[in-house]
Amino acid sequence: MGFCSGSVRLMLGHDSNVYFLGDIDMYVQHKKEDCCGCSACMTMCPAKCITMKRDEEGFLYPEIDETKCLHCGMCQKVCDFNKIHDWDAMPQPKAYAAKQKSDLERAKSQSGGMFAALSDVVLEMGGVVYGAGYDEEWNVMHKRAETKEARDEMRGSKYVQSDIRDTFRRVLEDLSKGRTVLFSGTHCQCAGLKSLAEMRHARTEKLFLVDIVCHGVPSPKIYQAYMEFMKKKHKGEIERFNFRNKGKFGWHSHVESAIIKGKEYDTELYVDLFYGHNALRSSCHQCPYKHTVHVTDITVSDFWGIEKWAPDFDDNKGVSLVLLNTSKGNDLFETAKKRLYYREAQIKDCIQPPLQHPFPRPATRERFWRDFETKSFEYVLAHYTHHYGWRTYTKKAVKCVLKAVLPRPAIEVLKKLRGR
């Protein structure tokens, strides 16, 4: 960690691996890995001198206007990402496998429909819900909803970092008016909001924080490059987009789908970039929140491994993992139970890599970004994905369809025949 005097306007340089936050007497220079981009510092700043600016990879970092800075240090104090958490000293959460009783409701969600079930409770008590939605250009951003119809845009996974914008400020305003609020986001976003609400002495008893088990957040710049690639390839605007087409390929698959000029196009190109980890935010590779213990009220995720632990509960339509981290979260889940089929589980039954450790920074990351900036997106797809080319994709698509329609015993027979 280095230091820089506060005599000039400090901002994130495009070729820099650092950003700056104000301290009482000086600006502290942090590595980019130290910032998750939650924007709590921007909202906390009493002088309103912090704005969030995108770097060359498309991720948001704080920029300080030194001419307005009070040198109060509040931006650093509110930062939960850099606090020390003794996770092992905290109690383990209660774990459940859960899915909505309504197949129709579950079909609208990416896994078991837990976000909808929990947010329905809050909306029915006159509360408001915040979650990730889209703007008119398919950029992912956090939105506010007071109705189930508006909330439905927030359903479904979105594998890209959402833009918080002024969401934290609006949450604080709702809490100050006595409204019940459910905020859904990544663990780092929820932790930032929690720290901010506590420092602002907000009515946190009215705030439900629901985080998703996060693999890591890919760059919005890569996501938009993929969307532009799809529009150019299929000569039209994207009318609808699904990061994981569960309805067509089944819950256990991961195929993205875009509707262009009324026709559906399915690929596994974006998911390849996602799981390649080159496009993840730098802070994701040293994320402090990769643990079974979370600072939120409820943690939700796909219940990967349910087919081994409770195969009779898995119909390939989606099962959610639910971790109840607080008594407040437990109360909300109890109210939502009338909408659910559920089973209590043990932590050992539902452990998955993002609940254990962050994914390491790939050795190819710098080369990936250099190629992205200097070569075509087709070149990036050809060199950093497994599914660029119609032969490869067709074979994979057929495999996914067979998995979705064939019973598991038949699939096992096919696997044995293929292995001969």
- Among 310, 328, 355, which residue terminates a domain? 355
Residue 258: closest CA among 233, 277, 280:
233
131 contacts 190 by C-beta, under 8 angstroms: no
pLDDT of residue 387: 83
Residue pLDDT, tens place only, 198-240 = 999 999 999 999 999 999 999 999 999 999 999 999 999 999 9
Task: Give Cα 182 to chain centroid, integer Å.
Answer: 16
**Residues 226 and 191 placed together within one structural domain of the fold:** no
**Residues 102 and 118 placed together within one structural domain of the fold:** yes
Asked if residue 28 has pLDDT above 50, the reply is no
**Residues 127 and 157 placed together within one structural domain of the fold:** yes
Would you say residue 82 lies in a domain?
Answer: no
**Residues 298 and 273 placed together within one structural domain of the fold:** no
- Nearest 5 degrees, angle CA 265-CA 270-CA 271? 110
Integer Cα distance of 404 and 126 in angstroms: 39
Here the tokens at position 213 are 């088990």
**Residues 203 and 144 placed together within one structural domain of the fold:** yes
**Residues 57 and 28 placed together within one structural domain of the fold:** yes
Would you say residue 414 lies in a domain?
Answer: yes
Integer Cα distance of 339 and 363 in angstroms: 46
**Residues 162 and 37 placed together within one structural domain of the fold:** no
Asked if residue 251 has pLDDT above 50, the reply is yes
Would you say residue 238 lies in a domain?
Answer: yes
**Residues 56 and 173 placed together within one structural domain of the fold:** no
Residue pLDDT, tens place only, 99-155 = 999 999 999 999 999 999 999 999 999 999 999 999 999 999 999 999 999 999 999
Asked if residue 400 has pLDDT above 80, the reply is no
Domain that holds residue 197: 87-217+280-355
Mapped to the 3 state alphabet, what secondary structure does the chain carry? CEEECCCCCECCCCCCCEEEEECCCCEEEEEHHHCCCCCHHHHHCCCCCEEEEECCCCCEEEEECCCCCCCCCHHHHCCCCCCCCCHHHCCCCEEEEEEECCHHHHHCCCCCCHHHHHHHHHHHCCCEEEEEEECCCCCEEEEEECCHHHHHHHCCCCCCCCECCCHHHHHHHHHHCCCCEEEEEEHHHHHHHHHHHHHCCCCHHHEEEEEECCCCCECHHHHHHHHHHHHHHHCCCEEEEECCCHHHHCCCCCCEEEEECCEEEEECHHHHHHHHCCCECHHHHHCCCCCCCCCCCEEEEECCCHHHHCHHHCCCCCCEEEEECCHHHHHHHHHHHHHEEEEEECHHHCCCHHHCCCCCCCCCHHHHHHHHHHCCHHHHHHHHCCCCCHHHHHHHHHHHHHHHHCCHHHHHHHHHHHCC
Give percent of the chain above pLDDT 90.
83
The amino acid that residue 224 corresponds to is: Q
Pairing mode, strands 50-54 and 60-64: antiparallel
pLDDT of residue 3: 26
- Among 314, 334, 355, which residue terminates a domain? 355
Q: What is the mean pLDDT of residues 238-255?
A: 96
Tally Cβ neighbours within 10 Å of residue 137. Answer: 9
* Best-predicted range by mean pLDDT (285-289, 384-388, 406-410): 285-289
Would you say residue 12 lies in a domain?
Answer: yes
Per-residue confidence band for 413, with pLDDT thresholds at 50, 70 and 90: confident
Would you say residue 349 lies in a domain?
Answer: yes
Per-residue confidence band for 409, with pLDDT thresholds at 50, 70 and 90: confident
**Residues 136 and 193 placed together within one structural domain of the fold:** yes
CA-based diameter of the chain, in Å? 72
Would you say residue 120 lies in a domain?
Answer: yes
Would you say residue 190 lies in a domain?
Answer: yes
Phi, psi angle pair for 359, to nearest 5°: -80, 135
Per-residue confidence band for 8, with pLDDT thresholds at 50, 70 and 90: very low
Q: Does 395 or 84 have the greater pLDDT score?
A: 84
Tally Cβ neighbours within 10 Å of residue 372. Answer: 22
Phi, psi angle pair for 40, to nearest 5°: -60, -35
**Residues 347 and 387 placed together within one structural domain of the fold:** no
Residue pLDDT, tens place only, 308-362 = 999 999 999 999 999 999 999 999 999 999 999 999 999 999 999 999 999 999 9
Q: How many domains does the chain have?
A: 3
- Among 48, 77, 106, which residue terminates a domain? 77
Q: 199-217: buried (b, 16+ CB within 10 Å) or exposed (e) per residue? A: eeebbbebbbbbbbbbbbb
**Residues 9 and 116 placed together within one structural domain of the fold:** no
Would you say residue 347 lies in a domain?
Answer: yes
**Residues 26 and 147 placed together within one structural domain of the fold:** no
pLDDT of residue 412: 74
Asked if residue 59 has pLDDT above 60, the reply is yes
